[in-house]
Amino acid sequence: MATTALYPKFEKQIGDATAAILRTRIAPWAHLNSGKPLRPAKHDGSLIAYEGVTFDGSPRLVFWSRYIEPFLEDLATQQIEAAASLARERRVDVRGLLTEIEGLLL
């Protein structure tokens, strides 16, 4: 299936943004048992602080209870808005591009 002219731009943008979320928001949790304090920031800027615990109980609840979702929702909203705006500006089929964006975000 052919893609819109803007597909490569958004493929890179979404890939880069997703990699940044993985690197900055998910990867630090891998070091929970390293003995060093874990202080990732939530989407609202407040810090989560854990030290010397396993990934059971409270840390598991924090991580799986709306920690990552706001970052992903923000990414999706930004990319959809940018795609719709740029498609109109460049006279690219908005529906086609938004379908492509949907696929990239999945």
pTM of the model: 0.79
pLDDT per position as a tens digit, 20-65: 999 998 887 777 666 677 778 889 988 876 655 555 556 667 666 7
Average pLDDT of the residues in 95-99? 96
Residue 86 pLDDT greater than 80, yes or no? yes
List CB contacts of 37: < 8 A, sequence separation 6 or more. 49, 50, 51
Local confidence band at 66 (pLDDT 50, 70, 90 cut-offs)? confident
Q: Is the pLDDT of residue 76 over 90?
A: yes
